[in-house]
Amino acid sequence: MNTQSTEKTKEAYEAGKIYKSSTICAHADRNSPEYALRQLWEKIELVRKHARPGRLVDLCCATGVHLIELADLSEDAIGVDFSAPFIEKAKADADAAGLQIRFIEGDVRAIPLDSATVTTLYSFSALYLVPDLDKVISEIARVLGPSGRCILDFGNSRSLNTYCVSKYTELPPSFHLPLPKILKMLSQNGLSVVEHRAFQILPLWADRPGWLWPLLHPKWKMFMGKRLGNRMIDEWVSNLPGLKQIAFRHLIVAEKCS
């Protein structure tokens, strides 16, 4: 277990300098001019599409904004995150909204829930910041009941975005993995892929290194976020044969084999 990396990441999230409780989570917006909010809407809708009756878990929930938005899906909703300040704000916001949501401080590599008690679990924009992803996948498989589904957001190391992220030394370490290894982990833990969508063929938030400026220009976000039919242009491009293997973000829906 990479304890030193975990503590460094935890410290970065709790210090309130780079990641603040007030801004760590955003609200999904299908019609926003901002690419990230449109993509977030796609993630939320994917959870709604695949949610099963029963316990709903947001893994790495931060301040719980997404779980609050999805609370109508379950009367037994639980958020798990390692940051105490985030969990405190999540509890306060849920109480203010009159929602009975449980928020638990815990390590995603040892999820504080009993085995086979979860029917739907999701995790957005977090798993590629956690070391020992194999332990996380094993834990997800453990807490899911038979035919339970997980909607997971992975970062592909064989991507231009991973190269650009490496230039941001002020950020906590990332633990991107090659897509074949991610898919193998799911299979080894009895999780069968139901749906697989790719995004971010370009690094759509980075501005480093400078020599890549033609591919890092902000106008790419505006263009890639436009919808063509029922998908963003970015998703159409990122899922083309050959390009899917080098897109950064992979949203994978998997089902626990009975």
For the segment 192-251, what is each residue's pLDDT rounded down to a tens digit?
Answer: 999 999 999 999 999 999 999 999 999 999 999 999 999 999 999 999 999 999 999 999
Residue 160: closest CA among 100, 96, 78, 248: 248
Does residue 108 lie within any of the structural domains? Answer: yes
Contacts of 110 (CB under 8 A, 6+ apart): 135, 139
**Furthest-apart CA atoms within the chain: distance in Å:** 51
Alpha-helix runs per DSSP H in the chain = 3-14, 35-50, 65-69, 84-96, 133-143, 160-165, 179-188, 213-216, 219-224, 233-238
Contacts of 20 (CB under 8 A, 6+ apart): none
User: Mean per-residue pLDDT for 57-65?
Assistant: 97
Q: What is the pLDDT of residue 5?
A: 57
Does residue 41 lie within any of the structural domains? Answer: no
Number of domains in the chain: 1
The model's pTM is 0.94
Does residue 144 lie within any of the structural domains? Answer: yes
- Quick: pLDDT tens for 104-126: 999 999 999 999 999 999 999 99
176: confidence class by pLDDT, cuts 50, 70, 90: very high
Residue 30: closest CA among 11, 9, 48: 48
Q: What is the pLDDT of residue 20?
A: 86
Does residue 148 lie within any of the structural domains? Answer: yes
Look at residue 184 and tell me whether its pLDDT is greater than 70: yes
Asked whether the beta carbons of 205 and 36 are under 8 A apart, the reply is yes
- Per DSSP, the three-state class of 205 is coil
Determine the Cα–Cα distance for residues 192 and 27; give it in Å rounded to an integer. 30
Does residue 35 lie within any of the structural domains? Answer: no
Look at residue 170 and tell me whether its pLDDT is greater than 50: yes
Does residue 30 lie within any of the structural domains? Answer: no
Q: What is the pLDDT of residue 113?
A: 98
Asked whether the beta carbons of 247 and 205 are under 8 A apart, the reply is no
Does residue 145 lie within any of the structural domains? Answer: yes
Domain that holds residue 184: 3-21+46-256
- Quick: pLDDT tens for 10-54: 666 666 666 788 889 999 999 999 999 999 999 999 999 999 999
Out of 24-33, 72-81, 88-97, 136-145, least confident range: 24-33
- Per DSSP, the three-state class of 196 is strand
- Both tokens of 24, joined, read 């760590």
56: which strand partners? Answer: 77, 120
- Both tokens of 95, joined, read 């109480």
Look at residue 161 and tell me whether its pLDDT is greater than 50: yes
Does residue 93 lie within any of the structural domains? Answer: yes
- DSSP class of residue 172 equals P
Determine the Cα–Cα distance for residues 129 and 103; give it in Å rounded to an integer. 20
Return the number of other C-beta atoms located less than 10 Å from residue 179's C-beta: 23
Look at residue 1 and tell me whether its pLDDT is greater than 90: no
Name all contacts of 33-38 with Cβ < 8 Å and 24+ positions apart.
Answer: 33/222, 33/225, 34/221, 34/225, 35/204, 35/221, 35/222, 35/224, 35/225, 35/232, 35/234, 36/204, 36/205, 38/225, 38/227, 38/232
Which CATH number covers residue 12? 3.40.50.150
Residue 17 Rama label (left phi>0; alpha psi -120 to 50; beta): alpha
Question: Residue-wise over 42-79: b if at least 16 C-beta within 10 A, else e?
Answer: bbbebbeebbbeebbbbbbbbbbbbbbbbbebbeebbb
